[in-house]
Structure 1
Amino acid sequence: MLVHPQFDPIAVHIGSGGIHWYGITYLIAFGLFLWLATLRSRMPQHAAVGWTKRDVDDVLFYGVLGVVVGGRLGYCFFYKPSYYIQHLSEIVRVWDGGMSFHGGLLGVLLGLYLFGRRRDRGFFEISDLIAPCVPTGIMAVRLGNFINGELWGRPAPADLPWAMRFPQAHDIEGVVRHPSQLYQAAGEGLLLFIILWLYARKPRATGQISGVFMMGYGALRFVAEYFREPDDFLGLRALSWSQGQWLSLPMVIVGAAIFAWATKRNQRPVQG
């Protein structure tokens, strides 16, 4: 039986506070995005329509705002709406924890729309550029979840070689769990990155790459939720699905619709 290493959540102690690993993983996520998006902006099909390093920097700025604001609001109102409606002042307390990927995604989409309006660029032109650059950031943040020993998995068979005991779960002796944070890092992070990066190497119809991202993330997250312990204040919802699964299913449907629309609308590949 493995036991979670119980990492110190503070990477660098400074006085009574310090720099948290979770914050570092977000910085790594943004750094990886900047590097990968810069590489993609230099590809002939993107450079030909005027993408520059400054454009990538500005997209990152809008994206960071979307992740932080959308992620926090998504957590508050997707997962604990009744509590935060009664405690509005606590919404800004990001340092207390609580971020939602689905809320962050909505925030990023709004940021891309605003960026496109200011730079006179089509929404899917922007989203197709950045979609393959997002999964590595997801991977980094999921590793941060693992370091913190949070968002652990559901109980696993005792003979599963990588099953792990999470002391934070306060389980009875002998209960081991799936390290679902690592499953998500590998699936929604590494695997989705490989799929999108390879798919985007060839010219694609505008919108197709974005559609593949939505379908891929939604499907991989949906599967991962079967191994992740549901939030104790929510439990399982209708059909014994978690809140994360109910939020991921629309992503698959919308992604499929975008892909079908892009394929039908574009008779020849124009984007990669």
Structure 2
Amino acid sequence: MYDFTAWWQHLPSQMNPVIFSVGSIAIRWYGTMYIVAFAIVYLLSRYRIANEKLPFDKTFPGDALTWAMGGVLIGGRLGYILFYGFEWFLLDPIGTLLPFNFGSGACAFSGISGMSFHGGLIGVAIAMWLFARKQQVDFLKTVDLFIPALPLGYTFGRLGNFINGELYGRVTTSAIGMYFPDAPTVELRHPSQLYEAFFEGIVLFVILWSIRKKAPWPGFLSGLYLIGYGTVRFFIEFFREPDAQLGFVFLNFSMGQVLCFIMIAVGVGIVLLSKQRAAKAGIAGGGKR
């Protein structure tokens, strides 16, 4: 038992965030997890279209997710700068925005450092709205197609954070804690990335996937996802170390908790407004679907 506990607690220091390198370019687990996440959402969405008689053709998920990828990257990075690193942006706008290092008179690829989930979510929402408008399809129906699969894909993103040794939790005396090499102190910390992967990912996926066919109106699944993710993330933030450059931004709440509170409110608003819209269209309450 002691051997397992020691292995578990020192696991972060045994993991290499780089899968392999080609010259100066490193292929990292974090970026690979993004690819895995999109692949899962794509395949499950294709499955839904084929087996649930949804009004989309088989090329629709690929086209929509191409737009979503752009939304994640742009929104995630801009969201991180706005919510967590605006002071860095003011000091070095170009270096903060571009994944290149221009030091010593040379240009080297430095990768994208810092992504915000909430920023990525906003980016995807905007991208999906633009895509739905271009395709002349209903925005809420489009988003609801992908929502049940989204948490499972998100699970792999958090596993990428764990392998990177980032977004670790607060100090704990529990045996479940781990030693993270990049943490400011050599103390056991909650593996909050794994908490998020399980509860925001697997648990939320099971809930949404199991009720996907019972959604009473378009927009219900989207609103429920925002409420569910925001609620779970809000409580997990009590175990996660606040960002060092921000600390607690409102009372004893972190920036993540403030954003999750807004996320929950938006989710409630979407459920209520989409229900009203569906009632006017004769969908809610057992009407024509």
Deviates more, 1:115-124 or 1:253-262: 253-262
Query: Is the Cα contact below 8 Å between 1:205 and 1:270 reproduced in 2?
Result: no
Q: TM-score, normalised by structure 1?
A: 0.92
Q: Which residue of 2 aligns with 1:182?
A: 194
Work out the CA distance in 2 between the residues paired with 1:244 and 1:198: 28
SS in 2 for 1:164: coil
Q: 1: distance between equivalents of 2:286 and 2:267?
A: 18
Letter in 2 for 1:74: G
2:11 equivalent to 1:4 = yes
Task: Report the Cα offset of residue 269 of structure 1.
Answer: 5.0
Unaligned runs of 5+ in 1: none
Residue 266 of structure 2 is aligned to residue 260 of structure 1: no
Q: Distance in 1 between matches of 2:25 and 2:80?
A: 25
Alignment partner of 1:25 is 2:36: no
State the structure with more CA Rg: 2
Distance in 2 of aligned mates of 1:68 and 1:202: 32
Residue 137 of structure 1 pairs with residue 143 of structure 2: no
Partners of 2:16 and 2:94 lie apart in 1 by 29
Greater than 4 Å deviation, 4+ residue runs: 269-272
Query: What per-residue deviation string (whole Å, max 9, x for no partner) do you get for residues 153-198 of structure 1?
Result: 0011x2x2311111211414xx211000000000111111111111
Q: Describe the shift of the 1:264–1:96 C-alpha distance in structure 2 as closer, same or farther (beyond 3 A).
A: closer
Deviation at 1:259, TM superposition (A): 1.2
CA distance in 2, matches of 1:92, 1:53: 35
Q: What secondary structure does 2:243 align onto?
A: coil
More deviation in 89-98 or 113-122? Answer: 89-98
- State whether residues 215 and 221 of structure 2, in contact with CA within 8 Å, keep that contact through their aligned partners in structure 1: no
Q: Which amino acid in the other structure matches residue 191 of structure 1?
A: V
Equivalent of 2:142 in 126, 135, 139: 126
RMSD: 1.8
**Pair 114,96 (structure 1): closer, same or farther in 2 beyond 3 Å:** closer
Matched, 1:204 2:204: no
Quote how far apart the aligned CAs of 1:96 are: 4.2
2:83 matches 1:67:
no
Distance 1:121 1:240, change over 3 A: same
Query: Which of 94, 98, 119 is matched with 1:92 structurally?
Result: 98
User: What is the aligned partner in structure 2 of residue 42 from structure 1?
Assistant: 50
- Aligned amino acid, residue 84 of structure 1: F
* Aligned equivalent of 1:232, options 222, 240, 244: 244
SS of the counterpart of 1:201? helix
Write the distance in 1 (CA, Å) between the matches of 2:125 and 2:79.
13
Query: For residue 196 of structure 1, what is the amino acid of its counterpart?
Result: L
- Structure 1 pair 122–168 and aligned structure 2 pair: CA distance change class (3 A): same
The answer as to whether partners of 1:206 and 1:270 remain within 8 angstroms in 2 is: no
1:148-187 to 2 correspondence within 5 Å? 148-156=164-172, 158=173, 160-172=174-186, 175-187=187-199
User: What amino acid sits opposite 1:222 in the alignment?
Assistant: F
Q: Give the whole-Å Cα distance in 1 for the aligned partners of 2:90 and 2:149.
A: 35
Residue 270 of structure 1 deviates from its aligned partner by: 7.3
SS in 2 for 1:166: coil
Secondary structure of 2:213's aligned partner: coil
Query: Can you list the C-alpha shifts for 1:39-66, whole angstroms capped at 9, x where unaligned?
Result: 12224441xx2x0121111111010000
Q: Does 1:191 align with 2:203?
A: yes
Given that 2:76 and 2:123 are in contact with CA atoms closer than 8 Å, whether structure 1 keeps it comes out as yes
Contact 2:12–2:178 at 8 Å: present in 1 too?
A: no
Q: Tell me, what secondary structure is at the counterpart of 2:190?
A: coil
Asked whether the 8 Å contact 1:188–1:220 carries over to 2, the reply is yes
Unaligned runs of 5+ in 2: 1-5, 100-109, 279-283
Change (3 A) 1:31 1:270: farther
